[in-house]
Amino acid sequence: MTFKPAAWPRKLRSQTWFGGTSKDNIYHRGWMKNQGFPPDLFDGRPVIGILNTWSELTPCNAHLRDLAERVKHGIYEAGGFPVEVPVFSASESAFRPTAMMFRNLAAMAVEEAMRGQPMDGCVLMVGCDKTTPSLLMAAASTDIPSIVVTGGPMLNGYYKNERVGSGTHLWKFSEAVKAGTMTREEFVDAEASMSRSPGSCNTMGTASTMASMAEALGMALSGNAAIPAVDSRRRVMAQLTGRRIVQMVKDDLKPSDVMKKEAFENAIRTNAAIGGSTNAVIHLLAIAGRVGVDLTLEDWDRCGRDVPTVVNLMPSGKYLMEEFFYAGGLPVVIKRLGEAGLLHKDALTVSGESAWDQVKDVVNHNDDVILPADKALAQSGGVVVVKGNLAPKGAVLKPSAATPALLTHRGRAVVFEDIDDYKAKINDEDLDIDETCVMVLKNCGPKGYPGMAEVGNMGLPPKILRRGITDMVRISDARMSGTAYGTVVLHTSPEAAAGGPLAVVQNGDMIELDVPNRRLHLDISDAELAARLAAWKPIHPLYESGYGWLHQRHVEGADTGADLDFLKGARGNAVGKDSH
């Protein structure tokens, strides 16, 4: 830790709006006074933007207005001036064609909201999947002091006295209906049991993973990730976060001071230990690209390789976030990494303490939820990166969610040209497929879907499910929900819509998946592959206008984080052309 706090007091950026007596100062300050703010709030104290992704159409974040009040308490207590600002909220459960298409749009909008308005520091109020990375990307690009507070997970779901995990049981019940072991009426009956309180998905899905990533990166206070949304301690966390951001502004503790390469390596290892979502790969690559850290897919494979998955949560394990909190939450996991020599202990966090100092005294209260290393769900729990002629720039797989016997597999390709083709064929009893086949789904990548939907864990054909078979090797350029499971190769790069080799796989081709040797191979000759690629043409037209036009022409591959090419990098907080 080499951070040296800045001298205080000093003039803050908000004073270029609110300080002084010019016409512009009076314009900026005077209009704010229509809300009844006392004059001393404009006296040079830190102005803190509470960037709130509250939306009634982002149900996982629908309680964030209430939580923002607690953040305000903390900011006032510490001598700051809180201003709550609604920002773009991309709901995972409601946004079409997919929330991921709008992560970059949200990041762009929030970045400009931070830079263009009088904010000296920001509290990033997030929860649902894309809200966390989009605001972290914005904070990285402006480098304005920022701290994350998440909304917290929903309480445990139960149906017929069994734990029901958000998303995970949606897939399970849906497959059970297809297999004929659950009725449609039971499925509908189970619906409300999955979502019985405010908060984000209660599994170790993408929201819980990204909350954990924010904490492991050092961008949230220790313990933030797991506190249930409705627990009174979530409000305490919000208030403490409000207090802390004021001091961060005084110290000038910026995202670039915290999000160093070491912090990203801590986060990658944490992701392996928690059995986190593959979506974290894309989001951390994108955040790193904004803050100027050279992070690659290879870093994911290298750092995650020796880390056992010890958090026994769905979709890989059996418990839910509520139990993770009771067991001690993420600090216990980070302490475990530190004890195993897998943590950059000195990494600075937003608390001002090191990653190690803030966890070294925590205790695991339930070793069936946070398992001993010798009882880990997977000894090598990290996200695996496979490469080969089918994925020259890599593809990812989550071993802890896969069937071990399928991690080395050779099978006949059954190809779906896009998600509509899949939907049209998958229920056909005459589809030429058995459990040894490899299901291949194309044109679902960042450019293709567009937006890279979470369809990579495509359901198995009913005729196979009815025989009690629940997993097959599946390969696509899509993503997979963090709540999902299976032997699923994702993010295949380059994607089909960009002319990657995935685009030219044909029915009947043989495909080899060899996870131990990190290989994904299409068993055709180099000459045949080259001839097919030369003859390839995209099957979908591009958008001709609107944000879709911008997205499809500028989105990069999943292997580098699927950011828009012109948004990469930090642009600082200076207003106007100096920042671009």
Tokens linked to 550: 């911008």
* Cα gap 300→65, rounded to integer Å: 36
Say whether 110 sits in a helix, a strand or coil: helix
Taking the least distance from each CB to ligand FES, the nearer of 205 and 561 is 205
* Cα gap 441→443, rounded to integer Å: 7
* Three-state DSSP string of 457-489: CCCCCHHHHCCCCCCCEEEECCCCCCCCCCCEE
The answer to whether residue 128 forms part of the interface with ligand FES (CB under 6 A) is yes
* Cα gap 134→140, rounded to integer Å: 10
- Give the dihedral sign, CA 519/447/418/206: positive
Taking the least distance from each CB to ligand FES, the nearer of 276 and 501 is 276
* Three-state DSSP string of 142-198: HCCCEEEEECCECCCEEECCEEECCCHHHHHHHHHHHHCCCCHHHHHHHHHHHCCCC
The answer to whether residue 93 forms part of the interface with ligand FES (CB under 6 A) is yes
Query: How far apart are CB 118 and ligand FES at their closest, in Å?
Result: 31
The answer to whether residue 563 forms part of the interface with ligand FES (CB under 6 A) is no
Number of chain positions touching ligand FES (CB under 6 A): 10
Taking the least distance from each CB to ligand FES, the nearer of 199 and 255 is 199
Taking the least distance from each CB to ligand FES, the nearer of 200 and 270 is 200
Q: Which amino acid is at 307?
A: V
Say whether 35 sits in a helix, a strand or coil: helix
Taking the least distance from each CB to ligand FES, the nearer of 131 and 349 is 131
Query: How far apart are CB 152 and ligand FES at their closest, in Å?
Result: 11
* Cα gap 256→375, rounded to integer Å: 37
DSSP for 7-29 reads PSS---TTHHHHSSSSHHHHHHH
Among residues 195, 210, 207, the alpha carbon closest in space to that of 92 is found at 207
The answer to whether residue 313 forms part of the interface with ligand FES (CB under 6 A) is no
Query: How far apart are CB 451 and ligand FES at their closest, in Å?
Result: 15
Query: How far apart are CB 521 and ligand FES at their closest, in Å?
Result: 34
The answer to whether 46 and 18 have CB atoms below 8 angstroms apart is no
Tokens linked to 81: 């001036």
The answer to whether residue 200 forms part of the interface with ligand FES (CB under 6 A) is yes
Residue 108 belongs to what H/E stretch? helix 103-115
The answer to whether residue 114 forms part of the interface with ligand FES (CB under 6 A) is no
Taking the least distance from each CB to ligand FES, the nearer of 215 and 512 is 215
Residue 414 belongs to what H/E stretch? strand 408-416
Site pattern 224..263 for ligand FES (x: CB under 6 A): ----------------------------------------
Taking the least distance from each CB to ligand FES, the nearer of 127 and 462 is 127
The answer to whether residue 201 forms part of the interface with ligand FES (CB under 6 A) is yes
Taking the least distance from each CB to ligand FES, the nearer of 222 and 481 is 481
Taking the least distance from each CB to ligand FES, the nearer of 192 and 531 is 192
Taking the least distance from each CB to ligand FES, the nearer of 135 and 293 is 135
- Give the dihedral sign, CA 566/571/575/577: negative
The answer to whether residue 129 forms part of the interface with ligand FES (CB under 6 A) is yes
Taking the least distance from each CB to ligand FES, the nearer of 133 and 557 is 133
The answer to whether residue 220 forms part of the interface with ligand FES (CB under 6 A) is no
DSSP for 502-568 reads GGG--TT-EEEEETTTTEEEE-S-HHHHHHHHHH---SSPPP-SHHHHHHHHHB--GGGT--BGGG-
Query: How far apart are CB 199 and ligand FES at their closest, in Å?
Result: 8
Query: How far apart are CB 151 and ligand FES at their closest, in Å?
Result: 9
What does R_g of the chain's alpha carbons equal in angstroms?
24
The answer to whether residue 322 forms part of the interface with ligand FES (CB under 6 A) is no
Query: How far apart are CB 49 and ligand FES at their closest, in Å?
Result: 23
DSSP for 287-333 reads HHHHHT----HHHHHHHHTT--B-B-BTTTSSB-HHHHHHHT-HHHH
* Cα gap 337→325, rounded to integer Å: 18
Taking the least distance from each CB to ligand FES, the nearer of 200 and 309 is 200
Query: How far apart are CB 93 and ligand FES at their closest, in Å?
Result: 4
* Cα gap 477→500, rounded to integer Å: 10
* Three-state DSSP string of 71-100: HHHHHHHCCCEEEEEECCCCCCCCCCCCHH
The answer to whether 89 and 167 have CB atoms below 8 angstroms apart is no
* Cα gap 358→223, rounded to integer Å: 10
**Which of the ranges 76-84, 200-208, 415-423, 518-526 carries the binding residues for ligand FES, by CB under 6 A?**
200-208
Query: How far apart are CB 392 and ligand FES at their closest, in Å?
Result: 32
Query: How far apart are CB 92 and ligand FES at their closest, in Å?
Result: 4
Q: Which of 32, 42, 92, 303 binds ligand FES (CB under 6 A)?
A: 92
Interface with ligand FES in residues 45-74 (CB under 6 A): 60
The answer to whether residue 268 forms part of the interface with ligand FES (CB under 6 A) is no
**Which of the ranges 170-178, 198-206, 399-407, 429-437 carries the binding residues for ligand FES, by CB under 6 A?**
198-206
Taking the least distance from each CB to ligand FES, the nearer of 321 and 347 is 321
The answer to whether residue 207 forms part of the interface with ligand FES (CB under 6 A) is yes
Interface with ligand FES in residues 136-175 (CB under 6 A): 166
Taking the least distance from each CB to ligand FES, the nearer of 93 and 380 is 93
Taking the least distance from each CB to ligand FES, the nearer of 92 and 323 is 92
Query: How far apart are CB 40 and ligand FES at their closest, in Å?
Result: 40
In sequence order, the 6+-apart residues with CB closer than 8 A to the CB of 552 are 447, 450, 542, 543
**Which of the ranges 197-205, 305-313, 315-323, 402-410 carries the binding residues for ligand FES, by CB under 6 A?**
197-205
The DSSP code for 376 is -
User: Residue 330 half-sphere exposure, CB side, CA atoms within 13 Å?
Assistant: 34
Q: Which of 80, 133, 165, 205 binds ligand FES (CB under 6 A)?
A: 205
The answer to whether residue 197 forms part of the interface with ligand FES (CB under 6 A) is no
Query: How far apart are CB 250 and ligand FES at their closest, in Å?
Result: 33
Tell me which residues touch ligand FES (CB under 6 A): 60, 92-93, 128-129, 166, 200-201, 205, 207
